[in-house]
Amino acid sequence: MATAPAARAESSLPRPPGVAPGDPERGRQLVADRQRGLCLLCHSAPVGDARQQGNLAPPLAGVGGRLDEAELRLRIHDSRRVNPESLMPAYGVADAAPRVAQAWRGKTIFSAQQIEDVVAWLVTLK
């Protein structure tokens, strides 16, 4: 019995046309904001109170030395395109989480510009 070939993982995503380069300070604020992206629920990062940061996902310290902008952008936009079993939310995909409150259905967690801002900050973490 033949098995289907494994889906090929993507590795990068270019900046969308018409979206400005990111602002690292706005990106840092988005990562640190516990009401917006909730990045620190799973990740630790060189920002804020380290006691209130996650250890479920890889630390963000040094991520800019491991991944380039396009690789980071893809992981934030939809990490399942890199790893289909990823637990990370798809920040740039509307309807990525079907069981959310009606007010959030059909919306992305971050706009394309906010993703660029987060990417701009993450690449500074060498």
Number of domains in the chain: 1
Q: Is residue 108 part of a domain?
A: yes
Q: How far apart are CA 88 and CA 90, in angstroms?
A: 7
- Cα 69 from Cα 15, distance rounded (Å): 9
Is position 9 within any domain? no
Residues 6, 57: Cα–Cα separation, whole Å = 24
Structure tokens at 25: 């300070």
CATH of the domain at 62: 1.10.760.10
Residue 115 domain boundaries: 24-122
pTM for the model = 0.87
Residue 6 tokens, joined? 């494994």
Query: Is 71 a member of any domain?
Result: yes
Half-sphere exposure of residue 115: CA atoms within 13 angstroms, side-chain side: 26
pLDDT reported for residue 50: 79
Q: Is residue 15 part of a domain?
A: no
In this predicted structure, what is the pLDDT of residue 5? 44
Q: What is the pLDDT of residue 4?
A: 47
Q: Tell me the average confidence (pLDDT) per consecutive run of 10 residues in the chain, 126 residues long.
A: 52 91 98 92 91 94 97 97 94 83 87 98 98
Angle (CA) 126 115 28, round 5°: 50
